[in-house]
Amino acid sequence: MNHPIRRVALASMVIFAALLLNISAGYLIRTDYLNNRPENRRVTDAQFAQERGPIMVGNSPVAKSEPVKDRFKYQRSYPSGKLYAPVTGYHSYYFGKSGLEHSYSEQLIGVDDSQFLDRLVNLLTGATPRGASVETTLSAKAQRAAWDGLNGRKGAVVAIDTKTGAIRALVTSPSYDPNRLATHDLKASRAAWEELTADKSRPMANRATKEIYPPGSTFKLITAAAALEAGKSPSTEIDASQFKLPGSTVVIKGNCGGSEISLTQALNVSCNPGFARLGVELGADALREQAERFGFGDTFLPEIGSAASKFPAEPDDAQTGMSAIGAFEVAATPLQMAMVAAAIQNGGVVMEPYLVETVRTLDMRVISQAQPRQHGRAVSESVADSLQDMMVSVVENGTGRRAQISGLTVGGKTGTAVTEAGRNPYAWFTAFADELDLAVCVFIEDAEMPATDIAGGTLAAPIAKAVIEAMR
């Protein structure tokens, strides 16, 4: 009789142990999965009701939480709305988080590993947990100047500290109001999302870092850099006569001021036949290597994400000639072209761009502090010096005259990119202000003028000028 009882007891123990093991494994292994299930509204409600620390630009919050009398307790709001949306992102009940709200979410709600001591003190004292403040590198004046300069046109502006890589302005237009997604009126939040995602102007697209476009003649800075690294000088004479692309019927024309002109003059007037011929002479590998040394092929700003700029993989000679003038399949972000100008002003050194300077607890204790980091060297210091002089000449004597600022040494390069027949060109201008250690890139998606005009100099250069003047 005892033997059957022992077998039943043993089987019960095994089943009970297996049940405990399954529960424990489910708790340890499946916690994130269960918490992140869309139907788990208890977790969603709890997370959305948390007070979050502010996101700061200077001494002003551009994202903050305020107590309200509803089931969520705290309302996340964005005082400047569209102006900082590509940076702050949104915090929404149905649609989650983006931008700094996403990448710094744990610090903002106070659960990051670096905030363990604060959580322990709160536990012992019974105090309510508080999130940290995220202090950005942005300049309110530069951001406003960039936004006002675009004036509703599709495009983007990026300004960067050439010595550190700190982002001083990051604007994309059109933009969106994250308050509409953060609202506690969940029906209105859904309606806003549907409207924004259906909008053909794509207001939620980050044109500054996540979109790539043909850079047009701004890419000639990279072609010029490759030429100087190969032994040419700013005074080297190049053939500027019309150029029939090898193995093609396409002829690149342009009045460059003579059939033989210096490399500096070619950059001044943005000479297409001269630079296309130069690109074929240098070869695709040299151009690609030079572009990659400036950052092409890499991604930056993990805080908000970026697309990698690209140079074509295996272009033939004709395609190489077109690539040398920023056409064919060359594509870049405005961030990348700002980094090109920044590296030239910084003696050839490319700095890693970053958006967050400091994260602090509410009692001002520093949790993390940004440390400028080098990404690599694009060109030698002597080549960078030559490129600086050539870019200054573009502003003083060439297509970038509208960027001139009294009392400042400004160097720049215009770009006008044609993407398809019958479509208005893209307008570009990338520049540096030497005394301010500042680089700026302006991109306008629809120049609203013929491709024969220098759209970069006409439309984009004045915006760059305004951003630089805001930083004086």
Query: What is the DSSP track for 280-296?
Result: HHH-HHHHHHHHHHHTT
Are 134 and 54 in contact by the 8 Å Cβ rule? The answer is yes
98, 173, 189, 217: the active-site residue? 217
Question: Which residues pair with residue 443 across a beta bridge?
Answer: 156, 428
Instruction: Please confirm, yes or no, whether 306 is among the known catalytic residues.
Output: no
What is the C-alpha to C-alpha distance for residues 150 and 427, in angstroms, rounded to an integer?
Answer: 12
Cβ–Cβ < 8 Å for 444, 455: yes
Q: How far apart are CA 171 and CA 405, in angstroms?
A: 22
- CA dist 410 and 400 (Å) reads 10
Please state, in angstroms and rounded to a whole number, the distance separating the CA atoms of residues 151 and 432.
Answer: 22
Give residue for tokens 């050839």: 348
Give a three-class secondary structure readout of 72-129.
Answer: CCEEEECCCHHHHHHHHCCEECCCEECHHHHHCHHHHHCCCHHHHHHHHHHHHHCCCC
| Phi–psi pair at 153, nearest 5 degrees | -70, 145
Closest by CA to 367, choosing from 131, 140, 153, is: 131
Q: What is the three-state SS of 193-207?
A: HHHHHHCCCCCCCCC
The Cα–Cα gap between 310 and 299 comes to 11
**Three-state SS at 150:** helix
Distance (Å, whole) CA 78 – CA 466: 25
Cα(421)–Cα(407) distance, rounded to whole angstroms? 41
Structure tokens at 340: 């090109």
Parallel, antiparallel, or unpaired: how do β-strands 55-57 and 133-136 relate?
parallel
The total of other beta-carbon atoms located within 10 Å of residue 168's CB is 24
Amino acid occupying residue 251: V
Q: Which H helix or E strand runs over 5?
A: helix 2-29
Q: Are 132 and 110 in contact (CB under 8 A)?
A: yes
Which tokens in the block code for residue 331?
């594509």
Q: Closest by alpha carbon to 455, among 167, 239, 153, 152?
A: 153
Question: How many Å apart are CA 31 and CA 46, to the nearest integer?
Answer: 15
Q: Which sequence positions are flagged as catalytic?
A: 217
